[in-house]
Chains A and B, each alone.
Chain A
Amino acid sequence: MDKTASDIIFKSCGELEKLLDSKQISSVELLNIFIKRAKETDDRVGAFLTFYEKEALADAEASDKRRAKGEKLSALDGIPVSIKDIISEKGKQLTCASRILKDYVSPYNGTVIEKLKSAGAVLWGRLNMDEFAMGSSTETSAFKKTYNPWNLAKTPGGSSGGSAASVAAGQTPLSLGTDTGGSIRQPASHCGITGLKPTYGLVSRYGLAAFASSLDQIGPFGRSVRDCAVLLKAIAGHDFRDSTSYKVNIPDYAKDLDALPASKTFKIGIPKEYFAEGLSQEIREAVEKAIQFYKKKGCVIQTISLEKVSLAVPTYYIIAPAEASSNLARYDGIRYTHRSKKATNAIDVFAKSRSEGFGDEVKRRIILGTYVLNSGYYDAFYLKAQRVRSLIRAEFMKAFESVDVILTPTVPNVAFNVGEKSSDPLAMYLEDLYTISVNLAGLPGMSLPCGFTKDKLPIGMQLIGKPYEESALLQCAHFFEREHDFHRQHPTL
């Protein structure tokens, strides 16, 4: 077996597990390869905010000892996983890419972290993101920008840009991100990798710094559908500490994929509104080619109508900022955040600390959220948006009466240049057009690579599934991926 780094860094976690099991490589060696790769490339990609080398190598060593004794904990034992800097890991930073939390150290592990540690995963880095997950390009991070490994002049998408870029660049095999309006799926699409947002409530939010509590979900990034299946299984499940977490049986998603019969087909809905004007021609062609593939292989392709998609952006950009304005009230300069040195009284300490600590996008959304929740405007905006949200969800559920999965492009345009949209908030918000309604409806959604532009920028397609039916969703994605090799491509850095 070729143990050269360049061979290892783009392997799937299933392949890495086989190498570890057959003792061709140790977890310590594996981690060192990824650390080296990250150190060599991150000056250009900028995915990581920090590594925790010593602790991670100790974890890797412990994994090797377990394996030697035949006590492997799970498929993830000894596999490196990096974490978006918004999920609490005890003893590590939790900046949420914000100055207001720049010195914060977590006193506890979030549930997904506990689960990954129990599975033996080696957690080793904190990844860059848009500040408090508010953004679609990772440009609002208070600390640094992240660049798209496929073209370093472009953004990787956001808000989980660091999580997507680090996997795309071969710096880490797996990562966790979060998705409130598309923040896993959109960067997965821009970076040519696979990312999944679970059904709302499937994965515990305990330990996740909240942005919009009725929309946020933690989810996996990986080099393949199966990688996401393995990571999803490890983090999913009911948690009494998250009262919105759902009691539902978690199947072995990867096993379901491995057992997918060649003859299994799907009923796939294609919403015509997602293919209207505004969609880039190259994306349209790649996604339509994918639809033809499914059809050729015996799937039933049905045109459906999801006309409420035009309302998704205003609905989301009323609900999410409203919830954010409430959730971010806790960053007050009192208990655990940056506290302004210029404050002399109680009101001052809040206002000055928050103003010094928050960036523009965060301030803008807090003010927007405060406005729509303000008495006098509450009915016209927030309540109205929540009612429209009902209509959006009802429309999806009606479509799922006749189809198993819905297929759309993930984004209307491919990765854009750094700085191109950062001064036009509305233009940035419109990038989320296809992903947002999935969060509003609470459905599971994923993006997988389905092509490239002539400039070698990745194109992703989105699959949307029925609530809590991630298995069927992953199977439908795997059905496409197993006969294509877009996911095996990687950028040259």
Chain B
Amino acid sequence: MSNNTDSIDIDYLAYLARLELSDAEKEKFKNQIGNILGHFKELQEINTDGIEALAHPFPSYNVWAEDEIQQGFTPEEALMNAPEKKDNELVVPQVVE
């Protein structure tokens, strides 16, 4: 089973996924994912010319909602699991300098 880890830029992927990984974790995941992807090489050999991609097994088209006001959350309900809140607002770390 080939282990093609060359194409796996683990630092970049971790950044995209907003995950912070230790060096040991980076090495481990890189190898495991390389192993998994190597196993999937047979997929490349399948002829899929002219075959449409299937995103959903039974697609529904044009699913509309009526333009009617529906019951929503109160601010208290919406914030009930907030790590930090003040005056019905979510408190977050500083974003803008």
Give A residues with C-beta under 8 Å from B. 103-105, 107-108, 199-201, 214, 240, 243-244, 246, 310-311, 313-315, 317-318, 325, 329, 332-339, 343-352, 354-355, 358, 363-364, 366-368, 370-371, 374, 377, 380-381, 383-391, 393, 425-426, 429, 440-443, 467
Contact = CB atoms under 8 A, between A and B. Distances in A.
Contact of B83 (A339, A377, A440): A339
B54 A389 contact: yes
B78 A107 contact: yes
Contact of B35 (A243, A339, A426): A426
Contacts of A371: 8, 13, 33, 37
Contacts of B95: 345-346
Interface in B46-69: 46, 48, 51-58, 60, 63, 65
- Counting from the closest, the 6 A-B pairs by CB-CB distance are A442-B57, A386-B53, A336-B81, A339-B83, A314-B40, A387-B48
Chain A contact surface mostly: helix
B46 A311 contact: yes
B42 A311 contact: yes
24 contacts: A107-B78, A240-B65, A243-B63, A310-B42, A311-B42, A314-B40, A332-B18, A335-B90, A346-B95, A348-B93, A349-B93, A354-B18, A354-B20, A363-B21, A363-B25, A385-B43, A386-B54, A386-B55, A388-B46, A388-B48, A391-B48, A393-B54, A442-B57, A442-B58
Given A344-B93, A355-B19, A389-B54, A367 B40 contact: no
Interface of B: 7-8, 10, 13-14, 16-21, 25, 29, 32-33, 35-37, 39-40, 42-44, 46, 48, 51-58, 60, 63, 65, 73, 77-78, 80-84, 90, 92-95
A377 B51 CA distance: 19
Contact of A363 (B16, B19, B53, B81): B19
B40 to A, nearest CB: 4
Contacts of B37: 368, 371
Given A339-B83, A346-B93, A425-B32, A246 B18 contact: no
A387 B20 contact: no
Contacts of B18: 329, 332, 347, 350-351, 354
Contact of B90 (A334, A345, A358, A440): A334
B36 A335 contact: no
Nearest to A243: B63
Given A338-B83, A387-B54, A426-B36, A366 B17 contact: yes
